[in-house]
Amino acid sequence: MVDSTVVAAASYPTVPLTPMTVPAHEAEARSKAFHDVMAQRRTVRDYDTRPIPEGVIEWAVRTASTAPSGAHVQPWRFVVITDPGRKRLLREAAEAEEREFYGHRASEEWLTALAPIGTDWHKPFLEDAPAVIVVFEVHKGPGSPRPYYTKESVGIAVGLLLSSLHQAGLATLTHTPSPMRFLNEVCERPSEERAAYVIPVGYPAEGARVPDLRRKDLDEVMVRL
């Protein structure tokens, strides 16, 4: 009897795997080195006006697009905004939603949780940062197939995007205004695309400060069984 799984797999083209080979004795050191770089990553709200070096964002988006995705549909769109007028429109629209959030929508518990970070409805970073990347989930539409595990897929891609930008010496912030439908108009995207993240990108302003926060220890986030 022929295994139907083998037959199904054989009907799709494959290529030889070219694995990244790391000597066992170097594995932990490489892992620690990557951690030490990423441990310096912080969410930044104050940006310098210095331009971003040519090609950096493009390579970061290419890196993000190496992320695994449900059924390999790759359900993401990265809209890079650098035009000052467009960034101003984005800021105005986002601040209108944020005023509603902080003034009416957010619960007291939520506002209390945000208090140590010092955020409010003012979002100058959307205009000050030299670039803003708006990440959209791409759902089923005239030119796009139905995606699977969309939020999970896009979330992994954004993690790679942030890591790549940090490796290049750039600062970022993950802004998630709610609701986000206004971003389709600002970014001129079709209805089947749904905004998920707004990410300012640039160099930190001179003298920029960040909240004094502590990351959880390993034994608080990892369990061995």
Least Cα distance to 66 among 74, 57, 56 occurs for 74
> For residue 8, is pLDDT > 70?
no
Residue range 106-128: mean pLDDT, rounded: 92
pLDDT at 44: 97
Q: Which helix (H) or strand (E) holds 94?
A: helix 84-100
Residue range 135-154: mean pLDDT, rounded: 97
Within 10 A of 147 (CB to CB), how many other CB atoms are there? 21
Q: What does each C-alpha distance from 34 to 21, 57, 131, 166, 167 come to in angstroms?
A: 16, 20, 25, 11, 9
Query: Angle CA(81)–CA(84)–CA(87) in degrees, nearest 5?
Result: 55
Residue 11: pLDDT band with limits 50, 70, 90: confident
CB-CB contact of 46 with 125 (8 Å): yes
Query: Measured between alpha carbons, how far is 189 from 135 in angstroms, rounded to an integer?
Result: 11
CB-CB contact of 102 with 121 (8 Å): yes
Residue 176: pLDDT band with limits 50, 70, 90: very high
Sheet harboring 76-81: ordered strands across?
76-81, 131-138, 193-202, 171-172
pLDDT at 84: 97
User: Which comes out higher in pLDDT, residue 117 or 187?
Assistant: 187
> For residue 4, is pLDDT > 80?
no
pLDDT at 178: 83
Query: Measured between alpha carbons, how far is 198 from 86 in angstroms, rounded to an integer?
Result: 14
Residue range 34-56: mean pLDDT, rounded: 96
pLDDT at 192: 98
pLDDT at 5: 56
Q: What's the chain's average pLDDT?
A: 94
